[in-house]
Each structure stands twice: as C-alpha cells, then as structure tokens.
C-alpha cells in the first residue's frame, strides 16, 4: 500500500514537472537583430547625433536636443562618469556613460517613453529601464549636496 502511494506521488511530481516545462516560454532569439551590438556600433543618437552636435558647436540644436548647454552636459557627465562607467568583458561591450546620460536626459527632459527610447537607442526595454534607474540615482548622488543639502 505504501509503495503504491509513493509511486502515485512520484507520478504526480513527474506530471507537474512536465506541465511546468511546457508552460515555460521558449525564446525565439536571445538578442533581437536590431539590438545586436555588432550591428549597432555607430548607430543611434548617442553615436551619431550627439557627436555631430558637439563637433558642430551648434549650441542651440544641442540645447534643443538635451535641454541643456554643452557646458552643463559636460559638467554633469563629469560628475556621474565614474558611477556609470563599466568595465569591458569578454561577454559584452559596456554602454558608455555618455550614452546612459543621453538616454536618461531624453527620458526626463523630453518625456519620451522607455519603449520609444528602446528603438531610438537600440537597447532592450529592460536595459533602458536599468539605465534610467541607475543614471537617475547617480545624478541625485552627484548633485544632492549642491542642490538638496537637507537630504
């Protein structure tokens, strides 16, 4: 009797395991082609547009795009650079602090959605969420002593 009960319980466990496996979502791709790093290099606003705006010295267009002067941009980037910088590994090339700041400033200043930033900057949605969260924390940490002394 005990052996039959044990066999039934084992059978139930096997059935539960099989059901769980069938419910797991199978990924069609690991990285979507538009987000592939090898295809992405040199594309997107932070690779092209930001560099062109800085090189051209067009302060009005730069300020229109990121809602701050190039001097303010460089000052803010200098303050958050070390907190946002990542090391290069064999598995990935890190997103530059300038690009992380660009994504976050566009999110905050222009009211862009994270989904639209995903396509504009060619990073996955979870990456954009992580970038904006981490960069906003770095900005607060960098500026709180000057602008929020009571925190």
pLDDT value, residue 30: 58
Cα–Cα distance measured from residue 91 to residue 88, given in angstroms and rounded to the nearest whole number: 8
pTM for this predicted structure: 0.71
Give residue 41's pLDDT: 57
pLDDT in tens, 128-147: 999 999 999 999 999 998 88
Q: What is the pLDDT of residue 103?
A: 92
CA dist 94 and 127 (Å) reads 11
pLDDT confidence of residue 53: 84
Cα–Cα distance, 84 to 67 (Å, whole number): 21
pLDDT at 40 exceeding the cut of 60? no
Write the pLDDT tens digit of every residue in 55-111.
Answer: 888 899 999 988 999 999 999 999 999 999 998 888 778 888 999 999 999 999 888
Give the pair of three-digit tokens for residue 16. Answer: 């539960």
How many CA atoms lie less than 13 Å away from 65 in the CB half-sphere?
Answer: 19
pLDDT band at residue 44 under the 50/70/90 scheme: low
Structural domain boundaries in the chain: 33-147
The CA–CA distances, whole Å, from 121 to 18, 49, 82, 118, 142 equal 40, 11, 22, 6, 24
What local confidence, expressed as pLDDT, does residue 21 receive? 66
Report DSSP letters for 65-80, one per residue.
HHSS-HHHHHHHHHHH
């Amino acid at each position: 009797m005990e052996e039959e009960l044990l066999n039934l319980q084992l059978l139930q466990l096997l059935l539960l395991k099989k059901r769980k496996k069938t419910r797991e979502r199978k990924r069609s791709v690991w990285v979507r082609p538009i987000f592939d790093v090898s295809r992405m290099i040199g594309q997107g606003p932070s690779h092209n547009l930001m560099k062109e705006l800085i090189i051209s010295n067009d302060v009005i267009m730069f300020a229109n795009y990121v809602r701050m002067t190039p001097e303010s941009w460089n000052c803010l980037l200098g303050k958050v650079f070390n907190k946002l910088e990542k090391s290069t590994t064999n598995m990935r090339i890190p997103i530059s602090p300038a690009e992380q700041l660009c994504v976050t400033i566009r999110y905050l200043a222009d009211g862009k959605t994270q989904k639209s930033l995903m396509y504009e900057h060619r990073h996955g949605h979870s990456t954009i969420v992580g970038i904006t969260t981490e960069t906003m924390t770095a900005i607060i940490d960098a500026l709180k002593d000057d602008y929020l002394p009571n925190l």
